[in-house]
Chains A and B, each alone.
Chain A
Amino acid sequence: MVLHAVSSGYAYGFDVMDETGLPSGTVYPALRRLEGLGLVKASWEKHEVAQKDLRPPRRYYELTGAGKEALADAVKRYRVLNRAFSGPRLRPVREGR
């Protein structure tokens, strides 16, 4: 979800939270982990842009090549799962019946 949000242009941590609906305590560790794995790359916003708004620069995240591949894999996997779960459902076996 986080990778998908970053690839959709939600580059800042708080924007990713708003987009995914995940809390800050989940999104930031996820971003750190993805950064550690080399799937996203973080950079600081240009100082001039921040200065114009009279605020400190924000740190933005973007997908790396490996991140794009990982996202494509995840989307493919999700589609397979989605298909599997959207098919006819098996009746759950209940004990004692």
Chain B
Amino acid sequence: MTGWHWRVIALFSLVVPASRRVAWRREWQGELLHLERRLRARPDARSPHWRLFLRSLGAFTDASYLRLTAGVVWPPRILASWNPRTIAEAATQRLACLTMLFLPMKWVQSLSAVLAVHEFVVVLTFASGLTALDYWVARKFFKALQ
């Protein structure tokens, strides 16, 4: 399995409640692999990798929906008080997420199977910068969602 869409799914699976994570990942993998094959069979298909990547991005909304409906207050740290320490934590998590994107796929999958760190993916979504403003936007977004 090569391609950014597989990495995206492995990372976003961190948001899904642990009890549903395996089934969730299997469902997305099954659909993406099916689409990948279908696109590969069509020589006229335009930019298949880009299409697969775009499709995989929707997994974040799906994962967030499952997380929010599981009744878990999420993400606890972003909703907590806003101070230099929490900002520093968020920045570290963002860096960790970005690092995960470049790790070998096997490592990413085994990490996402073991970890229950929900902030990772929240953070990835807002990985536009390691700034306080970015953090503030994430905080507002999740407050609005809840």
Q: A24-B55, A24-B59, A28-B59 are in contact. Are A56 and B33 (CB under 8 A)?
A: yes
- In A1-55, the 8 Å CB interface with B consists of 12-14, 17, 23-29, 32-33, 36, 45, 50, 53, 55
- In B32-50, the 8 Å CB interface with A consists of 33-35, 37
The 9 closest A-B pairs by CB, nearest first: A24-B58, A25-B61, A25-B58, A28-B62, A29-B65, A58-B30, A56-B30, A59-B27, A14-B31
* Interface residues in chain B, defined as those with a beta carbon under 8 Å from any beta carbon in chain A: 23, 26-27, 29-31, 33-35, 37, 55-62, 65-66, 69
Partner of A28, one of B33, B34, B35, B65: B65
Q: Complex formed: what's the CA distance from A33 to B30 in Å?
A: 21
* Interface residues in chain A, defined as those with a beta carbon under 8 Å from any beta carbon in chain B: 12-14, 17, 23-29, 32-33, 36, 45, 50, 53, 55-59
Extra pairs beyond A17-B55, A32-B65 (9, CB < 8 Å): A12-B31, A12-B34, A24-B57, A24-B62, A25-B57, A26-B58, A59-B23, A59-B26, A59-B30
- Asked whether B55 lies within 8 Å of A14 as measured between CB atoms, the reply is yes
